[in-house]
């Protein structure tokens, strides 16, 4: 009987140590897909945490009009929710939006995915000559991950030409 | 002890894996969806096409399960099936297996559709066009041209979400070797809502255009249905064209291709909108003033005209399309208000007509007018229900005080007509439709309950009476279905025919079906 206790205690200690080491380790983003339509990364070892990158080509004239425009933010908000529902993204709500620089917009909020889980999202819209590059980060709302986990990675991506 | 737990583990994993297997290949849902006798590729659907003038399948006295054999034989021997080889035809001795394929079922489509796209890019291109279609058609007709482009923009905004939700779904099946086409499967699952809208619509079209599918036996029907589905879904531009322009495209593909290849985007949108209006049977859009004048004329005819003049006027109303105007019932614009007032007057006029043909034509015209001119038209089109209430009162007070069954039948027929006319959105799947139909039946029953002044206590008394139980038994329907229960209650007031009598009558009716 005593032997059994020793086994349980040893297993618990092992689990505790591995979880500490996991928590303290650096997260790494693994590229999971790259094609003509999108590129995506997964935070290794963490369920349902992803970043996607999509590129939309827009006329240069139109891009100039969109920069720092409130209208663009409004257009994001308007009609987006019912449209996203077609893809299992329900109750999409924008809680925060700000032009971080002249050509970088950050938007964040929540939505409910098709498995009824509340998800937090962060969108980064980078305006380049004739295209808008969009990064989307998602994580379960109840996740304890800190923002540095994705900000560092996205900043690196944004700096790329 | 260890021995026991190992056995338990093996058994539970076997149960789990078999469930998984069944789930993946769609067995449970497939079976669930087989229960619906009106499956769109079913033999019943083909029968309905052949015999619809002789037999009304919505007649509550018809029990499709029990009369399937007769219907099947009629289909087998009909002209519709004469080009199908004898050995390929539906087997009328095996109802359960022969009637089970419903290609509008999610499982059938996804298993059949998986693999038709060679790459994710191809699939996503299809989704983009599909999303644009769905967006376009959930928008008022007047704004369609703009929304076609907007649909594309919206899709670009949504792409990132589609990507992450796709990855989540893909991760679920990563270690699951049972999933045959994980990429397609993930795309299907992510866009389930959109695709089900599209497939439901495509299913409607196929069931109308390819109703001969019911002639084939189970295996061939599955194979041919899959072929039709694949032919329609690929190339995507064809599927979208079909959704936007309706089945006519199947007969006129050359003209359709022109819209996509030669015109630039705006011109293309205009051309499609114009083509859509034509298909909707609408005349050239007129200004608000002119429309007002025409509606006044129509009102006059409806007040004082003869029956044929009334029908002609209603046809005019059906085709009336007002230029650049989406009338709102709450609009402050005077001309708009006047039109809405006239529209209401016309509604009242129609409510007060006891002529069934005029009333039905009116419902059709008003549904069409509402759809093309009023904001949130189809949703607000409650005209039919209103007229039914009045019609019911007329029935009750003057003509048929005793014939409650007729009212119930009227209600069912009316619900069916409403569906045909688009009052019930074509985007909604058939389950919702049947739920609505059931609700209508229940409402019909409740009305009768009110009419009969049957209190709840009395209703329970009746329901527990041996007479009622006998009736439900005779009808052979589940007593959980309130709609049918109440129908049965109505039957109590009008002596119920025996099962044999019903079958005899049915056989007599079907004997006049145009087999040859």
Q: What ipTM goes with this model?
A: 0.83
What's the confidence (pLDDT) of residue A135? Answer: 95
What's the confidence (pLDDT) of residue B363? Answer: 65
Backbone φ, ψ for residue A119 (5° rounding)? -125, 140
Using the Cβ of A43 and the Cβ atoms of chain B, whether some distance falls under 8 Å is answered with: no
Distance CA B224, CA B228 (A): 6
> Strand, coil or helix: what is A80?
helix
Backbone φ, ψ for residue B405 (5° rounding)? -65, -35
Q: Say if the Cβ atoms of A114 and B165 lie within 8 Å.
A: yes
> Strand, coil or helix: what is B92?
coil
> In the structure, what pLDDT confidence band is assigned to residue A60 with cuts at 50, 70 and 90?
confident
What the block records as the tokens of B38 is 């009106």
> In the structure, what pLDDT confidence band is assigned to residue A121 with cuts at 50, 70 and 90?
very high
Distance, in angstroms, between A116 CA and closest chain B CA? 12
Q: Which one, of B464, B516, B472, lies nearest residue B492 by Cα? A: B472
Please check whether residue B213 is in contact with residue B49, taking contact to mean a CB–CB distance below 8 angstroms. no
Q: Which residues of B119-140 are buried (b: 16+ CB within 10 A; e: fewer)?
A: ebeebbbbbbbbbbbbbbbebe
**Closest chain B residue to A52, measured at CA:** B160
**Closest chain B residue to A82, measured at CA:** B135
Distance CA B131, CA B191 (A): 9
What's the confidence (pLDDT) of residue A98? Answer: 92
What residues in A contact B190, CB-CB < 8 Å? 87-88, 114
Residue B398: DSSP 8-state: I
What residues in B contact A51, CB-CB < 8 Å? 164
Q: What is the 3-state secondary structure (H, E, C) of B295-312?
A: HHHHHHHHHHCCHHHHHH
What residues in B contact A32, CB-CB < 8 Å? 167
- Tally the C-alpha atoms within 13 A of residue B89's C-alpha that lie toward its C-beta: 18
Q: Which one, of B259, B257, B254, B282, lies nearest residue B272 by Cα? A: B259
Longest dimension (CA), chain A: 78
Using the Cβ of B158 and the Cβ atoms of chain A, whether some distance falls under 8 Å is answered with: yes
What's the confidence (pLDDT) of residue A29? Answer: 94
Interface list for B 229-268 with A (CB within 8 A)? none
Q: Say if the Cβ atoms of A86 and B161 lie within 8 Å.
A: no
Annotated domain spans of chain A: 28-159
> Strand, coil or helix: what is A135?
strand
Interface list for B 111-150 with A (CB within 8 A)? 119-121, 124, 131, 134-135, 138, 150
> Token match 């009052």: residue?
B423
> In the structure, what pLDDT confidence band is assigned to residue A30 with cuts at 50, 70 and 90?
very high
Distance CA B161, CA A109 (A): 13
Q: Which one, of A87, A52, A115, lies nearest residue B123 by Cα? A: A87
Q: Which residues contact A57 (CB under 8 A, 6 or more apart)?
A: A130, A131
Using the Cβ of A113 and the Cβ atoms of chain B, whether some distance falls under 8 Å is answered with: yes
Phi-psi region of A48 (alpha: psi -120 to 50; beta: other; left: phi over 0): left
Which of B122, B155, B157 should we substitute to test contact with A (largest number of A Cβ atoms within 10 Å)? B157
Mean pLDDT over A111-130 rounds to: 91
Q: Are strands A90-101 and A50-57 parallel, antiparallel or unpaired?
A: unpaired
Q: Say if the Cβ atoms of B163 and A54 lie within 8 Å.
A: yes
Q: Say if the Cβ atoms of B164 and A52 lie within 8 Å.
A: yes
Q: Which residues contact B400 (CB under 8 A, 6 or more apart)?
A: B406, B407
Longest dimension (CA), chain B: 92
Which of B152, B160, B183 should we substitute to test contact with A (largest number of A Cβ atoms within 10 Å)? B160
Distance CA A92, CA A75 (A): 14
Surface-to-core class of residue B270, CB atoms within 10 Å of its CB (0-12 exposed, 13-18 middle, 19+ buried): middle
The strand pairing partners of A126, in sequence order, are A104, A133
Is residue A77 predicted with pLDDT exceeding 70? yes
Using the Cβ of B193 and the Cβ atoms of chain A, whether some distance falls under 8 Å is answered with: yes
In this complex, the residue of B131, B154, B160 whose CB is nearest that of residue A54 is B160
Calculate the CA dihedral of residues B459, B461, B462, B464 and round it to 10 degrees.
120
- Can you list the alpha helix ranges (DSSP code H) found in B173-252? 182-190, 192-209, 218-233, 236-245, 248-251
> Token match 């079907």: residue?
B510
Q: Say if the Cβ atoms of A89 and B161 lie within 8 Å.
A: yes
Q: Say if the Cβ atoms of B163 and A38 lie within 8 Å.
A: yes
Please check whether residue B123 is in contact with residue B190, taking contact to mean a CB–CB distance below 8 angstroms. no
Mean pLDDT by groups of 10 residues along chain B of 516 residues: 36 28 25 35 76 73 72 86 85 64 55 56 72 63 50 75 86 56 64 70 66 76 65 59 58 40 39 45 69 82 83 82 58 66 68 66 68 48 32 34 42 43 34 47 44 42 57 44 44 49 71 68
Interface list for B 461-500 with A (CB within 8 A)? none
Distance, in angstroms, between A81 CA and closest chain B CA? 10
What is the distance between the terminal CA atoms of chain A, rounded to a whole angstrom?
Answer: 64
Q: Which residues of B287-315 are buried (b: 16+ CB within 10 A; e: fewer)?
A: ebeebbebbeebbebbeeeeeeebbebbb
- Tally the C-alpha atoms within 13 A of residue B253's C-alpha that lie toward its C-beta: 7
Q: How many helices (H) and strands (E) does chain B have?
A: 27, 0
> Token match 């589609």: residue?
B162
What residues in A contact B139, CB-CB < 8 Å? none
Please check whether residue B310 is in contact with residue B358, taking contact to mean a CB–CB distance below 8 angstroms. yes
What's the confidence (pLDDT) of residue A122? Answer: 95
**Closest chain B residue to A114, measured at CA:** B190
Handedness of CA A22, A25, A29, A32 (dihedral sign): negative
Task: Return the CATH fold of A28-159.
Answer: Protein Transport Mog1p; Chain A (3.40.1000)
Distance CA B225, CA B391 (A): 42
What's the confidence (pLDDT) of residue B493? Answer: 46
What's the confidence (pLDDT) of residue A106? Answer: 94
What's the confidence (pLDDT) of residue B135? Answer: 67
């Amino acid at each position: 009987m005593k032997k059994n206790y020793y086994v349980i205690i040893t297993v618990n200690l092992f689990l505790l140590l591995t979880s500490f080491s996991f928590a303290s380790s650096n997260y790494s983003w693994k590229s999971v897909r790259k094609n003509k339509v999108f590129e995506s990364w997964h935070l290794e070892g963490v369920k349902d945490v992803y970043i996607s990158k999509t590129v939309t080509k827009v006329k240069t004239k139109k891009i100039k009009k969109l920069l720092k425009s409130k209208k663009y933010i409004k257009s994001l908000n308007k009609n987006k929710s019912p449209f996203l529902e077609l893809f299992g993204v329900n109750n999409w709500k924008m809680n925060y939006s700000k032009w971080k620089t002249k050509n970088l917009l950050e938007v964040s909020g929540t939505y409910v995915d098709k498995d009824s889980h509340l998800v937090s999202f962060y969108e980064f819209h980078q305006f380049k000559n004739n295209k808008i590059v969009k990064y989307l980060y998602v994580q379960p709302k109840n996740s304890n991950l800190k923002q540095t986990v994705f900000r560092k990675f996205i900043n690196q991506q944004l700096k790329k030409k | 002890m260890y021995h026991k737990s190992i056995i338990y583990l093996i058994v539970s994993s076997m149960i789990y894996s078999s469930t998984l297997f069944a789930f993946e290949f769609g067995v449970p849902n497939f079976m669930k969806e087989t229960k619906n006798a009106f499956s769109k590729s079913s033999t019943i659907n083909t029968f309905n096409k052949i015999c619809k003038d002789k037999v009304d399948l919505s007649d509550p006295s018809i029990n499709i399960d029990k009369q399937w054999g007769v219907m099947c034989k009629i289909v087998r021997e009909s002209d519709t099936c004469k080009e199908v080889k004898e050995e390929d035809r539906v087997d009328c001795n095996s109802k359960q297996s022969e009637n089970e394929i419903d290609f509008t079922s999610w499982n059938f489509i996804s298993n059949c559709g998986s693999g038709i796209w060679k790459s994710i890019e191809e699939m996503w291109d299809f989704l983009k066009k599909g999303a644009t279609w769905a967006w376009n058609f959930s928008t008022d007709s007047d704004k369609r041209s703009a929304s076609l482009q907007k649909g594309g923009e919206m899709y670009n905004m949504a792409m990132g979400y589609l990507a992450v939700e796709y990855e989540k779904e893909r991760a679920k099946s990563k270690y699951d070797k049972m999933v045959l086409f994980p990429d397609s499967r993930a795309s299907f699952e992510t866009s389930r809502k959109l695709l089900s809208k599209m497939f439901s619509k495509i299913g409607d079209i196929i069931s109308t255009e390819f109703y001969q599918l019911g002639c084939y036996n189970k295996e061939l029907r599955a194979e041919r249905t899959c072929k039709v589905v694949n032919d329609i879904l690929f190339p995507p531009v064809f599927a979208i064209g079909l959704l936007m322009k309706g089945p006519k495209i199947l007969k006129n593909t050359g003209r359709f291709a022109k819209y996509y290849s030669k015109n630039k985007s705006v011109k293309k949108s205009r051309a499609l909108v114009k083509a859509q209006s034509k298909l909707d049977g609408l005349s050239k859009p007129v200004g608000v003033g002119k429309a007002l004048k025409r509606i006044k004329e129509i009102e006059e005819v409806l007040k004082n005209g003869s029956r044929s003049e009334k029908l002609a006027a209603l046809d005019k109303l059906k085709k009336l399309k007002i230029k650049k105007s989406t009338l709102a019932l709450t609009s402050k614009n005077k001309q708009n208000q006047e039109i809405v007032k006239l529209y209401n007057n016309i509604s009242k006029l129609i409510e007060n007509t006891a002529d069934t043909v005029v009333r039905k034509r009116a419902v059709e015209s008003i549904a069409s007018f509402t759809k093309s001119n009023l904001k949130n038209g189809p949703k607000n089109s409650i005209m039919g229900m209103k007229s039914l209430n009045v019609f019911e009162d007329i029935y009750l007070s003057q003509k048929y005080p005793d014939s409650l069954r007729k009212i119930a039948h009227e209600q069912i027929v009316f619900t069916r007509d409403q569906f045909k006319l688009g009052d019930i959105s074509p985007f909604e799947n058939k389950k919702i439709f049947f739920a609505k139909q059931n609700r209508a039946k229940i409402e019909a029953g409740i009305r009768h309950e009110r009419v009969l002044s049957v209190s709840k206590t009395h209703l329970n008394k009746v329901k527990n009476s041996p007479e009622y139980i006998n009736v439900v038994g005779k009808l052979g329907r589940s007593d959980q279905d309130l709609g049918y229960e109440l129908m049965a209650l109505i039957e109590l007031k009008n002596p119920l025919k025996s099962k044999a009598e019903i079958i005899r009558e049915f056989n007599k009716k079907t004997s006049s079906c145009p087999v040859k």
